[in-house]
């Protein structure tokens, strides 16, 4: 009878040092936020950031977070961002976890010199958490585009 030695796939690559791990997660938090944090800040009048919906104009018209402005990710340029304050952080969102529109929007905005965070979960999780939306269809709008 042959005995096989088991090998840990989790520990095959050793964990980083606590200092490196801390730096990694602080860097993630510097670039990402979530639905709960955005909702909390807005509920408490902490609106030192600009909220941008990077989905299509049609999707925005049908359902968006109140107070968000619409700037589709493919239309982000020096011209379309000229009126945005460069001293305020921008928070971008798109459909949800399966959508990379917010990532593309954040990349384009940061290339133009803006400080940007991506709201994880997008409008999908904003709605799933029961938060207020506005638009021609409101909560009856499609959950994905």
CA distance 108 to 66: 23
- The parent domain of residue 67 ranges over 34-133
- Which pLDDT score, from 0 to 100, does residue 78 have? 98
Residue 103 near residue 118 (C-beta atoms within 8 A) = yes
CA count, 13 A, side-chain hemisphere, 87: 0
- Which pLDDT score, from 0 to 100, does residue 143 have? 87
- Which pLDDT score, from 0 to 100, does residue 145 have? 81
CA distance 43 to 21: 32
Q: What's the domain count of the chain? A: 1
The answer to whether residue 60 is domain-embedded is yes
Residue stretches of the chain with pLDDT short of 70: 1-3
The answer to whether residue 144 is domain-embedded is no
pTM: 0.91
- Which pLDDT score, from 0 to 100, does residue 14 have? 94
- Which pLDDT score, from 0 to 100, does residue 1 have? 61
- Which pLDDT score, from 0 to 100, does residue 98 have? 93
The answer to whether residue 116 is domain-embedded is yes
- Which pLDDT score, from 0 to 100, does residue 5 have? 82
Domain at 100, CATH number: 3.40.250.10
């Amino acid at each position: 009878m042959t005995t096989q030695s088991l090998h840990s796939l989790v520990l095959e690559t050793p964990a980083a040092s606590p200092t490196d791990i801390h730096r990694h997660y602080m860097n993630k938090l510097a670039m990402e936020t979530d639905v709960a944090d955005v909702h909390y800040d807005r509920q408490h009048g902490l609106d030192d950031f600009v909220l941008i919906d990077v989905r299509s104009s049609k999707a925005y018209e049908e359902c968006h977070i109140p107070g968000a402005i619409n700037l589709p990710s493919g239309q982000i340029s020096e011209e379309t961002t000229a009126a945005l304050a460069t001293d305020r952080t921008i928070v971008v969102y798109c459909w949800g976890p399966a959508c990379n529109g917010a990532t593309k929007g954040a990349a384009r905005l940061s290339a133009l010199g803006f400080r940007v965070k991506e709201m994880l979960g997008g409008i999908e999780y904003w709605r799933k958490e029961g938060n207020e939306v506005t638009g021609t269809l409101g909560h009856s709008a499609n959950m994905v585009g």
